[in-house]
């Protein structure tokens, strides 16, 4: 296989979206350290490897299923997929996603041995949801459930699961941190859905942007961008002052992103806005993690 082929596989993993796997691990680990002052870093490493593979597997299966169902056509204004260009075969990409899921199970073994049955359940449903996002008889993304899926699995479950691994507990602060992370992760899918609403409608992909329209999608993105900053009040009241104030440094990025979404019609420029959303998610997650670690 040539360089072009390997580059196509790399792009098919959607590297800009992988912050959704990284940030919950950082925040969950930092929160466990802030409250219990003790973590086992090897657990976070294995959790990160497993989460990255689940995310990559989900992305690959997403590409294969969207192409098969007609959501990725020549009319699509998002980045062209390698399957569209004829570089990769959709069935090979689908199998690539399945292989990523299988390898993620291997990295998940130490997590189950440490965290027990609850972690086994989390892993099982994470894999099931990753496949069901665009695959299976009831694909979540095609039913308008993709946004809720991201909040649950890349927010509450991911942050809460890592926190549980280190502490054996689920505390309310983990729910708040999971909400902050999950909302910003959902910004990414909401931007994509707004950008692709025209072609998604033709493919009967009933995202929220298709169901409720462009105005609703803009309001959704605005709320998802700003709600995480409301969590600063919680951290301040809990005495986590660094965690309250440091993430506010990303507020200007959120303001600029929202202004662009509200003033720009769905177009290829949304690919740049997506990158800004990924930067907002990553920057907020890093600053929140640092703030918690300083306690």
Which pLDDT score, from 0 to 100, does residue 80 have?
56
Q: Is the dihedral of CA 92, 93, 95, 100 positive or negative?
A: positive
Residues shown for the chain: 295
Structural domain boundaries of the chain? 19-293
- Give yes or no for a contact between 200 and 209, defined as CB atoms under 8 angstroms apart: yes
Structure-token pair, residue 25: 């691990």
Structure-token pair, residue 135: 């695959």
Which pLDDT score, from 0 to 100, does residue 211 have?
92
- CA 64, CA 83: separation in Å to the nearest integer? 7
Can you spell out the DSSP letters for 107-136?
Answer: HHHHHHHHH-HHHHHHHHHHHHHHHHTTSS
Kindly report, residue by residue over 272-295, the tens digit of the pLDDT. 999 999 999 999 999 999 999 986
CB atoms within 10 A of CB 49: 18
Which pLDDT score, from 0 to 100, does residue 4 have?
63
Longest dimension (CA), the chain: 56
Mention every residue, 6+ apart, whose C-beta is less than 8 A from residue 219: none
Residues in the chain predicted with pLDDT less than 50, given as ranges, are none
Kindly report, residue by residue over 84-135, the tens digit of the pLDDT. 665 677 788 889 889 999 999 999 999 999 999 999 999 898 888 888 877 7
What average pLDDT is seen over the chain? Answer: 88
Half-sphere exposure of 246 (CA within 13 A, CB side): 18
- CA 190, CA 166: separation in Å to the nearest integer? 32
- CA 221, CA 275: separation in Å to the nearest integer? 14
Half-sphere exposure of 10 (CA within 13 A, CB side): 6
* Residue 206 three-state SS: coil
- CA 125, CA 144: separation in Å to the nearest integer? 19
- Give yes or no for a contact between 63 and 93, defined as CB atoms under 8 angstroms apart: yes
- Give yes or no for a contact between 269 and 257, defined as CB atoms under 8 angstroms apart: no
């Amino acid at each position: 296989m040539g360089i072009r082929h390997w580059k196509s596989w790399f792009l098919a993993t959607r590297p800009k979206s992988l912050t959704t796997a990284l940030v919950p691990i950082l925040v969950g680990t930092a929160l466990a350290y802030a409250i219990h002052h003790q973590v086992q870093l090897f657990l976070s490493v294995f959790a990160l490897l497993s989460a990255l593979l689940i995310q990559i597997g989900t992305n690959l299966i997403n590409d294969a299923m969207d192409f098969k169902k007609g959501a990725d056509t020549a009319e699509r204004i998002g980045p062209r997929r390698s399957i569209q260009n004829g570089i990769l075969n959709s069935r090979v990409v689908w199998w690539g996603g399945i292989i990523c899921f299988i390898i993620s199970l291997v990295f998940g073994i130490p997590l189950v041995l440490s965290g027990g049955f609850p972690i086994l359940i989390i892993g099982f449903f994470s894999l099931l949801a990753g496949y069901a996002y665009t695959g299976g008889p009831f694909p979540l993304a095609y039913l308008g459930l993709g946004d809720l899926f991201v909040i649950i699995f890349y927010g509450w479950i991911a942050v809460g699961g890592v926190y549980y691994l280190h502490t054996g507990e689920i505390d309310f602060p983990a729910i708040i941190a999971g909400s902050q992370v999950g909302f910003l992760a959902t910004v990414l899918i909401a931007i994509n859905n707004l950008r692709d609403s025209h072609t998604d409608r033709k493919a009967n992909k009933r995202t929220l942007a298709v169901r409720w329209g462009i105005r609703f999608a803009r309001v959704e993105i605005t709320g998802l961008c700003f709600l995480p900053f409301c969590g600063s009040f919680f951290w301040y009241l809990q005495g986590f002052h660094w965690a309250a104030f440091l993430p506010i440094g990303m507020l200007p990025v959120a303001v600029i992103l929202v202004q662009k979404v509200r003033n720009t019609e769905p177009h290829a420029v949304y690919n740049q806005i997506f990158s800004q959303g990924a930067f907002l998610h990553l920057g907020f997650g890093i600053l929140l993690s640092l703030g918690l670690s300083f306690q």
